[in-house]
Structure 1
Amino acid sequence: MDSAQTLPVHLTVCGSCIDTHCEGEEGLGGGAKLHTYLEYQLADHPYKPFIKLQSHRCLMACAHGCTVSVCSKGKMKYLLGNLPADENMAAQILDFAALYFDSQTGVTPNHEWPGTIGMHFLGRIPPVDPVEGDWNDEGGDL
């Protein structure tokens, strides 16, 4: 954990997302279900002070539900999609958020990504206010 880092990681879950992996429960779509799993696991996560979890009505990636955005001021931003609304994926998202927090630019080496999260990246968006760092490092080690 980088104690010099002070800006939080914002995890935003699409609250109205359907879950492309299952039909959800009565009155509870996949996005809301995933948010609940994240909220529960974040309570005991070592990076809890540095992760801000929120729900947003719609992230406009409906063909790829469930979706989550990962961002922090001055860092690369990510959109993840086609996420199963389950405990395992919630743990992987939080572990990725921890790697992201520790990265100066938000770019993390793909060999460090937890589980199958790499299959769920829909895109990344460069920041309008980049921090100092090596922006040519793509984080890939292929």
Structure 2
Amino acid sequence: MKLIPVDNAPAVVVCNTCRFSKEERDDPAGRRGGALLFDALVAARADDPAFADVAVQAMPCLFACTEFCTVHLRGPGKVGYVMGRFAADAEAARAILEYAAHFAASDTGQVPFKQWPAGVKGHFITRTPPEGYVVE
């Protein structure tokens, strides 16, 4: 394993080796769902300046293998989230980035439920404390 430095800023880290769906590892063209979701996130971010404060990064395997199309939302001093079970498409990418923009603008990473895009509801897997903290 080799660690690759990235900016310590709000980011959506995509598992680019994630399954395409619960039933299928790859799409009909042989691409993994995580790779397709990464491409959709990069395209959505490029199309909307509202997402400029959130980086999109990829890495192999977030170890959420019982799920599919998983992402880790993280930022310095913020509670992080692992979300999954997304379709590998533009609609899911936009919902993830909309949530991530609210996350980036927050002090602690907590986003009020009324600001959650419908496309992320039901997709949360874990919540992770920021380095050096726990949540009360």
Question: Which runs of 5 or more residues in structure 2 are unaligned?
Answer: 1-7
2:3 is matched with none
Equivalences, count: 126
CA shift at 1:84, angstroms? 1.0
Query: Structure 2 length as normaliser, TM-score?
Result: 0.85
Is the Cα contact below 8 Å between 1:14 and 1:57 reproduced in 2?
yes
Structure-to-structure mapping, 1:1-142, within 5 angstroms: 8-20=9-21, 23=24, 24-130=27-133
Query: Following the alignment from structure 1 to structure 2, what is the Cα–Cα distance between the partners of residues 118 and 75?
Result: 20
2:4 is matched with none
Query: Following the alignment from structure 1 to structure 2, what is the Cα–Cα distance between the partners of residues 41 and 30?
Result: 16
Is the Cα contact below 8 Å between 1:100 and 1:108 reproduced in 2?
yes
Is the Cα contact below 8 Å between 1:21 and 1:84 reproduced in 2?
no
CA shift at 1:37, angstroms? 0.6
Query: Structure 1 length as normaliser, TM-score?
Result: 0.81
CA shift at 1:46, angstroms? 2.1
Identity across the alignment (%)? 34
State the Cα RMSD in Å. Answer: 1.7
| Structure 1 residue runs of 4 or more that deviate by more than 3 Å after TM superposition | none
